[in-house]
Structure 1
Amino acid sequence: MILRQSSGFLLLIISLLVSPGQSSLLGAQQPTDTRPKLYDTAADGKKQIADAIKIAKTEGKRIILKFGANW
């Protein structure tokens, strides 16, 4: 009975010592972002807003400003 308990305890200790090393064996993988980029990163927001204001004034309309980012 004592042998069975000590072997179980020994197995637990060995598994705890070995398990942290397994993650390093897999290598550090960079997460891949497969989501589409919704917003243009090269767009000039200030120019787009200025153009929208100019057009809205000439047409007598309001502006809906929608902004966001590729997170």
Structure 2
Amino acid sequence: MPTFEYHCQKCEQEVEVFVRGQEKPVCPSCQSQKLEKLISAPAGRVSGGSLPVMGEACPPSDAPPCNPNCCRLP
């Protein structure tokens, strides 16, 4: 079941919501359907070996961000 991140326009909370098919997401805090979908990094599995450390792939502090998912972006 996919999980999506939303910003609730009613209570201003950022929430994760499980969504099935065409069902409309509902804020778990206030039950509002006025949710704005946020862009988030995809989750995935890594088999074998260890996970990379975020800091190892980051560009130097004086360089621009390396990509839209750069660890230096706020």
Q: TM-score, normalised by structure 2?
A: 0.21
Q: Which has the larger Rg? A: 1
By relative contact order (CA 8 Å, sep 6+), the higher-ranking structure is 1
> Relative to total residues, which structure has the larger helix share, 1 or 2?
1
> Relative to total residues, which structure has the larger strand share, 1 or 2?
2
Q: TM-score, normalised by structure 1?
A: 0.22
